[in-house]
Amino acid sequence: MNILKKVARKYKTDIAEVEREINKAIAVGMSDSDPEVQAKWRELFPDGRTPTPEELIITLAKEVQKHKI
């Protein structure tokens, strides 16, 4: 099952709303002027493009596993 569908089901909303909210969070994070935040974005997404919500979730899940956060 698609991760966004799982999130939507868990929070009793639709996939479009989940995508909108994650895209808002991505925009806020990517526009943060903090150099450490920008460095982390470059580390996670070195090509500089804006990730999709699915890409963000997958990447962050891998980071959590890698660092056992």
**CB of 15 closer than 8 Å to CB of 4:** yes
* CB atoms closer than 10 angstroms to residue 29: 16
CA distance 58 to 44: 11
Q: What is the pLDDT of residue 69?
A: 62
Ordered mean pLDDT values, 10 residues apiece, the chain (69 residues):
89 96 97 96 95 94 86
Q: Given its phi and psi angles, is residue 68 left (phi above 0), alpha (psi -120 to 50 degrees) or beta? A: left
**CB of 26 closer than 8 Å to CB of 55:** no
Q: What is the pLDDT of residue 51?
A: 97
